[in-house]
Amino acid sequence: MEGTKKVKSQALLSKLATSDEHGENSPYFDGWKAYDKDPFHPLTNPNGVIQMGLAENQLSLDMVLDWIKANPEASICNAEGLHAFKNMALFMEKARGERVRFDPDRIVMAGGATGANEVAIFCLANEGDAFLVPSPYYPAFNRDLRWRTKVRLLPVTCQSSNNFQMTKEDLEEAYENAQKANIKVKGVILSNPSNPLGTTMDKTNLRSLVTFINEKQIHLVCDEIYGATVFRSPRFVSISEVAEEMECNLDLIHVVYSLSKDMGLPGFRVGILYSYNDHVVSCARKQSSFGLVSSQTQHLLAKMLLDEEFTDKYLSESRRRLASRYDSFTKGLKEVGIGCLESNAGLYCWMDLRQLLKEPTFDGEMELWRVIVNEVKLNVSPGSSFHCYEPGWFRVCFANMDDETLEIALGRIRMFVEKGKGAKSWQRNLKLSFSSRKMATSPRIMSPHSPIPPHSPLLRANN
Amino acid sequence: MEGTKKVKSQALLSKLATSDEHGENSPYFDGWKAYDKDPFHPLTNPNGVIQMGLAENQLSLDMVLDWIKANPEASICNAEGLHAFKNMALFMEKARGERVRFDPDRIVMAGGATGANEVAIFCLANEGDAFLVPSPYYPAFNRDLRWRTKVRLLPVTCQSSNNFQMTKEDLEEAYENAQKANIKVKGVILSNPSNPLGTTMDKTNLRSLVTFINEKQIHLVCDEIYGATVFRSPRFVSISEVAEEMECNLDLIHVVYSLSKDMGLPGFRVGILYSYNDHVVSCARKQSSFGLVSSQTQHLLAKMLLDEEFTDKYLSESRRRLASRYDSFTKGLKEVGIGCLESNAGLYCWMDLRQLLKEPTFDGEMELWRVIVNEVKLNVSPGSSFHCYEPGWFRVCFANMDDETLEIALGRIRMFVEKGKGAKSWQRNLKLSFSSRKMATSPRIMSPHSPIPPHSPLLRANN
C-alpha cells in the first residue's frame, strides 16, 4: 500500500465543512460523545454518563418482542402476499384515533423519517429555497433537510410566555422577513407532536396554519412521527384531520411518518412520506429506490400491523407507560424545585433550568450544560441546539431506560441541586449510594444501540 | 375534500421533467410497462410478455430459502452481538477469491447499490462536475447518479470491434473533450463486471485505468455488484487487488458493492460503499442515515454470511448454475444464427441482432425492439438505452426465470427468426405449442416482484 498520499477533493471538503456548520459539532452531538466515552452501567460503570439525549421508546419493547416470539413465521420471508402499504395505512389511522382515512396508494416508503423528510424537500424545493420551521426544533433537521438539498431553514421564534406555541403573527413575521431578504419561502415544516417540546398543536392553531399556507400558496410538511406517543389530553389532532375538514388546497399538504417512535422500532428504518399531491407522490416514488425498506422487514411489519388485537393493546399500553414515566420523572424534578413545560406527548421533557443559570445567556447555558454532562453525568441536550431563543431550557429523554436507571438519574439531579456544584463531594456520595445496586434487565432487542459495532452510523440515526 | 385544485410547485415540476430527461421514458423502462400490462404466466397467460429485462438472479434462491428455513433464529432480532460489518468484509473477500482483504471500518452501508452510488457522488462532486463512464452502461446510472446530485455523465464510447473493451485512448479522448468544453471531470465510474456486457476487465486494463486516474488526479468508483457472478475464466479481478499491488494513490479509489446480484437478495437493500479514503468514509457515514439497512436484515445477513460452509457452497453452485444457463441460452440462440458478445459474468447476454435490422440506425433498432416486445413478447432492452453507439445490440436477462420459461422464450425467438415477422401466423403457432404446459414452480421468495402492490417502487428498484 505505497503511495497513499492524501488528496482531498474540494467537493468533499466543502461537504464536510457544510456538515459541521449544520450542527454536528453542537452540544447536542457532543453530549453523545461524552456518553460514548463513559457510558453508565449499573454494575460495571455506575458513575458513568446516563444517556438522556436519546428520544427512543424502550418502555414497551417487551410487547414487540413477545409478539415476534409468538409469531416466528412473520420473521421469515415467504411468497405469501402481504400488503405492507395497506397495513401501514391501517396503522396510521389507528395511531390517529380512526378519525382520518389514509389511501395506501399515497404512501411512499423511505429510509426512516430522515429519508422521508429529505425526499419531501427534494420534491418541493430547489437549492436556496427556504422553509419556515417553528423553533425550538429538532437539531438534525439541519442535517437531514439542508445538507444534500441545499435549502435553508428559517426559524419561527416561539415564545416561552406563550408555552412556545406558534402564533399566526410569528409565522407572518418570519415570512415577511424572508421576503424582505429576497428569500423564496417554499413551505413550513414542523414536528407535531413537537420535538423537543412534547406538546401538540390544537385544532385552532392547525386550522390557522393551514389557512396561512393556503394564503401564501406554500407547502406544509408535518412530521407526525410522535403521533401515538400522546399519553394524555388534549388528544392528538393530525394535520390530515384538519385538512380534510377545511376548505383548503390539499395539494399543499404532506405528512411524514415512521414506526421508530410510535412502535419503538428505530432500527427497522421504516419512514413514510404521505402526500395529498399526486405530483409529489410520483416524484417521491421515483426517489424511493434510494431508501427502500428491506423486504424481510416489510414482511414482518405487514403481519404485525395487521394483528389489530396486538396493535390496539400496544398503543394503549404504551401510552399508559409513557404517562406513568412522565409523571414519576416530572414529580421527582418538582420535588427539587425543577419545572418542565407542561406536555402531553413525546419521549422527553422540556426542562426549565433558567433559575440555575449563573447568567441568563447562552454562555451561561453552556456552562451549566457542561456541569450536567461532565459532573452530574447526565447526557441532556441544551435548548440552544434546538434553536431556542431563550437560554436555560434543556431536553431530557426519559423513555430510553429502565425504572432503576431513571431513579439514579433523578437521584443525581437531586444531589446536584441540593449540594450546588460541589462536584467532588457529590461524586463521592454518588458512589456510596449506587455502586451496589442490582443490574437492570430491560429488553434491548432491535435497538440500534447494542449489537452494532461502535463505528456504526446507527448510533447516530435516531435521536 | 373540497378545494383540491392543482397547484404544481415549480421545483417539483422541474424535478419531474429532469427525471424524464434521465431516461425513465426510454425503451428500457417502456419494456417494463409492456411486461407489467401483459405478464407471461404459463397457465393463465401463456402468450404474455416474458420478462428478460430484469437482471435478477433466481437460479440459486432455493439455497438461500433452505438456509433461512434451517436457521429460523437468524430471522429474529435479538440482543446477541453480531458483526454485520465484519461478516460483510469476509464475504466480500470470499466473492473476490480471497485475493484481497477488506477493513470492516471502511464499509459504509447504504440503501442498496443505488444509494451507495449516489452517496459516492455526493461525496466526490459538486453540481455540474462530470464523471466519465464507459458505454454501453447501466441506464439507471442516469437517474441514480445524476438526478439529485446534478452531476454529469460523459460516455466513453467503446467499440464493438474491440469487444467493447475500454482503451486508455478512449479515456484520454473523452477526458480531453471534456476539458475543451470546460467541464470539470471529477472521476471515472464503471461497473466491473460490466452491466450490460457481462464481461470483466483484465488486470492490464485495470492497471491502465488506475494509472490514468492517478495521472489526472481524479477519482475511480468501481461498481462490483456482479463480482461473484463470474461463472468462467477469465476470473474476476477486483479493483482492490490491482490497486493494492500498484504504486498508486489509494485515496482516489472507491468500491460499490451489494448483495442484490451476487446473493440474489435485491429486496434486502444492502448496498455498500467501500472507500480507501478516510474523508470519503467519514462523509459517506454522515449520509448513511438516509439509507440504513434494517437491523432485522443486518442480523439475518450477519448470521448467513458468517456461515462459511453455506457461502462457499452457495458461491460455487451459483456460478455452476449461471454457466449452465448461459450455455443453454447462447446455444439455443446460436442454433438460429444469433450471436452474443462472448462473456463470462452477469445475469444477461449482449445479443447481436445487427443482421436483423431493416436499416443500421437507431430507428431500425427501435423498430425491431417494438416487434420483439409487442409481437415476440419478450421484454429485452435495446442497446440505445445503454448509450451504445452502434445499433443492433440488445441486453437479454436469463437468470430471472425457470428452465421452462427460458425454453418458451427460446422457442419464440426461433419462430420469429424462422418465420420472419409474420406476426399473425407466429402467434397462432405459439398458442398451439405452449398453452397446455404445466405450471412452473420456481422459488419466488424475497424477490421484490411478488408480494408487493403494483405501485411499489420495488418494481423498478433492481434492474
Check the CA dihedral B269-B455-B370-B432 and report its sign: positive
Catalytic: A261?
Answer: yes
Say which residue the cell 411499489 belongs to: B456
Confidence of residue A227 (pLDDT cuts 50, 70, 90): very high
What residues of chain B lie within 8 A of the CB of A267, using their CB? 77, 294-296
Say which residue the cell 403457432 belongs to: B429
Give residue-wise pLDDT tens across range A107-145: 998 888 999 999 999 999 999 999 999 999 999 898 889
Percent of chain B with pLDDT over 70: 83
Q: In sequence order, what are the residues at sequence separation of 6 or more whose Cβ sits closer than 8 angstroms to the Cβ of residue A150?
A: A127, A128
Helix (H) or strand (E) holding B424: helix B423-434
B221 interfaces chain A, CB cutoff of 8 Å: no
Q: What is the DSSP string of A409-431?
A: HHHHHHHHHHHTT-HHHHHHHHH
Listed in sequence order, the DSSP H helices in B267-341 are 278-287, 295-306, 308-335
pLDDT of residue B149: 92
Distance of residue A392 Cα from the nearest chain B Cα, in angstroms: 30
Confidence of residue A429 (pLDDT cuts 50, 70, 90): very low
pLDDT of residue A361: 96
Mean pLDDT of chain B: 83
Q: Hey, are the CB atoms on A143 and B461 less than 8 Å from each other?
A: no
Q: Hey, are the CB atoms on B290 and A295 less than 8 Å from each other?
A: no
Q: Measure the CA–CA gap between A408 and A436, rounded to whole angstroms.
A: 12
Q: Which is the catalytic residue, given A138, A175, A274, A348?
A: A138
Confidence of residue B438 (pLDDT cuts 50, 70, 90): very low
pLDDT of residue B20: 39
What residues of chain A lie within 8 A of the CB of B116, using their CB? none
Q: In sequence order, what are the residues at sequence separation of 6 or more whose Cβ sits closer than 8 angstroms to the Cβ of residue B303?
A: B71, B74, B82
Percent of chain A with pLDDT over 90: 61
Give residue-wise pLDDT tens across range A345-390: 999 999 999 999 999 999 999 999 999 999 999 999 999 999 999 9
Eight-state DSSP code of residue B222: E
For chain A, the structural domain boundaries read 2-61+313-420, 73-311
Q: In sequence order, what are the residues at sequence separation of 6 or more whose Cβ sits closer than 8 angstroms to the Cβ of residue B309?
A: none
| Segment of A38-42, A191-195, A400-404 carrying the highest mean pLDDT | A191-195
A-B Cβ pairs (cutoff 8 Å, strict): 282
Q: Hey, are the CB atoms on A77 and B445 less than 8 Å from each other?
A: yes
Residues 392-421 of B with CB under 8 A from A: none
Q: Measure the CA–CA gap between A387 and A133, rounded to whole angstroms.
A: 10
Residue A331 C-beta-side C-alpha neighbours within 13 Å? 8
Q: Which is the catalytic residue, given A50, A107, A218, A225?
A: A225
pLDDT of residue A334: 96
| pLDDT higher than 50, residue A155 | yes
Least confident of A156-165, A199-208, A445-454, B351-360: A445-454
Catalytic: A225?
Answer: yes
Q: Measure the CA–CA gap between B276 and B230, rounded to whole angstroms.
A: 24
Fold of B73-311: Aspartate Aminotransferase; domain 2 (3.40.640)
Task: Say if residues B112 and A292 touch (Cβ distance below 8 Å).
Answer: yes
What residues of chain A lie within 8 A of the CB of B285, using their CB? 455, 457
Eight-state DSSP code of residue A193: S
| pLDDT higher than 50, residue A411 | yes
Residue range A30-46: mean pLDDT, rounded: 85
| pLDDT higher than 90, residue B155 | yes
Q: Hey, are the CB atoms on B7 and A251 less than 8 Å from each other?
A: yes
Distance of residue A17 Cα from the nearest chain B Cα, in angstroms: 10
Q: In sequence order, what are the residues at sequence separation of 6 or more whose Cβ sits closer than 8 angstroms to the Cβ of residue A320?
A: A231
Instruction: Provide the whole-model pTM.
Output: 0.81
Residue among B244, B445, B456 minimizing CB distance to A1 = B244
Residue range A249-265: mean pLDDT, rounded: 93
Calculate the alpha carbon distances from B336 to B312, B333, B412 in Å: 37, 6, 11
Calculate the alpha carbon distances from A393 to A154, A323, B57, B271 in Å: 21, 22, 55, 41
Task: Say if residues A223 and A271 touch (Cβ distance below 8 Å).
Answer: no
| pLDDT higher than 50, residue A437 | no
Residue range A250-270: mean pLDDT, rounded: 91
| pLDDT higher than 70, residue B391 | yes
Q: Hey, are the CB atoms on A80 and B124 less than 8 Å from each other?
A: no
Give residue-wise pLDDT tens across range B21-51: 344 556 777 777 888 889 888 889 888 888 8
Mean pLDDT of chain A: 83
A11 interfaces chain B, CB cutoff of 8 Å: yes
B43 interfaces chain A, CB cutoff of 8 Å: no
pLDDT of residue B78: 54
| Segment of A434-443, B203-212, B257-266 carrying the highest mean pLDDT | B203-212
Question: Same CATH topology for A2-61+313-420 and A73-311?
Answer: no
Q: What is the DSSP string of A237-262?
A: --HHHHHHHSSS-GGGEEEEEESTTT
Q: Hey, are the CB atoms on B291 and A290 less than 8 Å from each other?
A: yes
Residues 156-215 of B with CB under 8 A from A: 186
What's the farthest any 2 CA atoms get from each other in chain A?
Answer: 68
Give residue-wise pLDDT tens across range B249-269: 999 999 999 998 988 888 888
More confident residue, A82 or B438: A82
Task: Say if residues A94 and A255 touch (Cβ distance below 8 Å).
Answer: no
Q: Measure the CA–CA gap between A352 and A278, rounded to whole angstroms.
A: 43
Least confident of A37-51, A237-251, A400-414, B440-454: B440-454
Percent of chain B with pLDDT over 90: 61
Fold of B2-61+313-420: Aspartate Aminotransferase, domain 1 (3.90.1150)
pLDDT of residue B453: 28
What residues of chain B lie within 8 A of the CB of A219, using their CB? 9
Confidence of residue A70 (pLDDT cuts 50, 70, 90): confident
Q: What are phi and psi of A253, to 5 degrees?
A: -115, 130
pLDDT of residue B117: 95
